[in-house]
């Protein structure tokens, strides 16, 4: 199997050149994007208090008065999940329980972001995150196995992570910026899905190259082919460097065109992001008021 690079790049260029919706249609698409965000903090200086703020923002991602003016205040708009390091899962669960919210907590595990720790340690990390209450686990693959063509070993490792996740949803991060070729991305996508991934995800956000449209097209084609072969729908999550409302509209368009409307929901599409929500809220503020807000007017709680 070889991926046709030129065709992929041409398709990506076409998608980026398309017109995006305006006015109330844009506002509706942006609210859809909000419901698909995994609101994420993966910083070395994470503390219980900024996890607390992140969770509150996830529960009420757009200011209530703005939603009220759009008659969307009672539609239960939240982000899809919050995503944190394993050692911060308990903090997030505690706050969400106190706020009476059933928002899922996702945790990165398996030696994130490089996956370069012993397999036993990586598995233990998954077990601990699940034990603390994470219902979604974002694992990273061992890139070395892809780069050296050890596909069966990659399959076996991901199967073990799948088992360790138990009932939690497993999102498999391919770290596409470190896989070398589109063909490797396609093969790694297929192996990850065959090993039981609920989602495949582009990046950790820590690589030099993160979510790009050409790579996303390759991954989406793999998802589509896997669905045609098995009847099983696997989700897609771009992550890393997605910062503007405009970009979120391109991602939604790409999903709609490549995979269809079934994938346009948090069950099968997530946006991994930390700063994207601020720009979306700013655009919604502009739609409602006709003015642009300063960022300090739409702060994290």
pLDDT in tens, 184-234: 999 999 999 999 999 999 999 999 999 999 999 999 999 999 999 999 999
Beta strands in the chain (DSSP E): 37-40, 81-84, 105-108, 136-140, 169-173, 199-201, 235-237, 271-273
pLDDT at 298 exceeding the cut of 90? no
Q: Confidence class of residue 296 from pLDDT cuts 50, 70 and 90?
A: confident
DSSP letter (8 states) at residue 114: T
- Asked, for residue 294, whether it belongs to a domain, the answer is no
Q: Which residue has the tokens 């497993």?
A: 170
Condensed to tens digits (0 to 9), the pLDDT of residues 252-270 reads 999 999 999 999 999 999 9
Condensed to tens digits (0 to 9), the pLDDT of residues 147-171 reads 999 999 999 999 999 999 999 999 9
- Asked, for residue 57, whether it belongs to a domain, the answer is yes
- C-beta of residue 87 within 8 angstroms of C-beta of residue 129: no
Indicate which residues carry an active-site annotation: 201, 237
Distance CA 81, CA 61 (A): 11
Contacts of the segment 26-31: beta carbons below 8 A, 24+ positions apart:
26/249, 26/283, 26/287, 27/70, 27/283, 27/284, 27/287, 29/249, 29/252, 30/245, 30/248, 30/249, 30/280, 30/283, 30/284, 31/62, 31/70, 31/72, 31/77, 31/284
- C-beta of residue 252 within 8 angstroms of C-beta of residue 26: no
Which residues make beta-bridge pairs with 170?
Answer: 137
Q: Which residue has the tokens 């996508």?
A: 189
Q: Confidence class of residue 297 from pLDDT cuts 50, 70 and 90?
A: confident
pLDDT at 121: 98
Question: Is the omega angle on the peptide bond into residue 45 within 30 degrees of 0, that is, cis?
Answer: no
Closest CA to 61 of 44, 77, 40, 45: 77
Q: Confidence class of residue 100 from pLDDT cuts 50, 70 and 90?
A: very high
Distance CA 189, CA 202 (A): 10
Q: Residues with Cβ < 8 Å from 297, sequence gap 6 or more? A: 285
- Asked, for residue 299, whether it belongs to a domain, the answer is no
Distance CA 270, CA 262 (A): 13
Closest CA to 274 of 238, 236, 240, 235: 240
pLDDT at 68 exceeding the cut of 90? yes
- Asked, for residue 41, whether it belongs to a domain, the answer is yes
Which residues make beta-bridge pairs with 136?
Answer: 106, 169
Residue span of the structural domain in which 90 resides: 5-289
- Asked, for residue 204, whether it belongs to a domain, the answer is yes
pTM above 0.95, yes or no: yes
Ramachandran region, residue 245 (left: φ > 0; alpha: ψ -120 to 50; beta: rest):
alpha
Mean pLDDT for the chain overall = 96
- Asked, for residue 65, whether it belongs to a domain, the answer is yes
Distance CA 224, CA 182 (A): 16
- Asked, for residue 55, whether it belongs to a domain, the answer is yes
Q: Confidence class of residue 301 from pLDDT cuts 50, 70 and 90?
A: low
Question: What percent of the chain is modeled with pLDDT above 90?
Answer: 96
**Edge-to-edge strand list for the sheet holding 37-40:** 235-237, 199-201, 169-173, 136-140, 105-108, 81-84, 37-40, 271-273
Look at the alpha carbons of 137, 212, 51, 70 in this order and tell me if their dihedral is positive or negative.
negative
Look at the alpha carbons of 184, 189, 190, 194 in this order and tell me if their dihedral is positive or negative.
positive
- Asked, for residue 300, whether it belongs to a domain, the answer is no
Average pLDDT score over residue span 225-248: 97
- Name the helix (H) or strand (E) containing 200: strand 199-201
Number of domains in the chain: 1
Q: How many CA atoms lie within 13 A of 42 on its CB side?
A: 23
**Which CATH number characterizes residue 123's domain?**
3.20.20.70
């Amino acid at each position: 199997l070889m991926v046709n690079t030129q065709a992929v790049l041409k398709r990506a260029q076409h998608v980026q050149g398309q017109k995006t919706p305006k006015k109330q249609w844009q506002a509706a698409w942006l609210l859809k994007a909000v419901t698909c965000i995994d609101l994420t903090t993966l910083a070395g200086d994470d503390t219980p208090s900024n996890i607390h703020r992140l969770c509150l923002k996830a529960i009420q991602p757009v200011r209530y008065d703005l939603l009220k003016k759009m008659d969307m205040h009672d539609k239960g708009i939240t982000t899809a999940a919050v995503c944190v390091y394993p050692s911060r899962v308990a903090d997030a669960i505690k706050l969400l329980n106190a706020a009476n919210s059933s928002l899922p907590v996702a945790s990165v595990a398996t030696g994130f972001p490089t996956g370069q720790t012993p397999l036993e340690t990586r598995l233990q990390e998954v077990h601990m995150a699940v034990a603390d209450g994470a219902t979604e686990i974002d694992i990273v693959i061992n890139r070395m196995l892809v780069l050296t063509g050890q596909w069966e070993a990659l399959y076996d490792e991901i199967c073990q992570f799948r088992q360790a996740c138990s009932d939690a949803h497993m999102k498999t991060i391919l770290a596409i910026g470190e896989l070398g070729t589109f063909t490797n991305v396609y093969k790694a996508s297929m192996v990850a899905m065959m090993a039981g991934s609920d989602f495949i995800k582009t990046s950790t956000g820590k690589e030099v190259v993160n979510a790009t449209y050409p790579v996303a097209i390759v991954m989406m084609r793999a998802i589509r082919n896997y669905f045609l072969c098995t009847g099983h729908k696997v989700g897609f999550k771009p992550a890393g460097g997605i910062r503007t409302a405009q970009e979120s509209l391109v991602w939604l368009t790409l999903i709609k065109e490549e995979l269809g409307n079934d994938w346009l929901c948090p069950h099968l599409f997530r946006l991994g992001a930390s700063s994207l929500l601020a720009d979306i809220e700013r655009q919604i503020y502009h739609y409602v008021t006709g003015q642009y807000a300063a960022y300090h007017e739409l702060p994290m709680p």
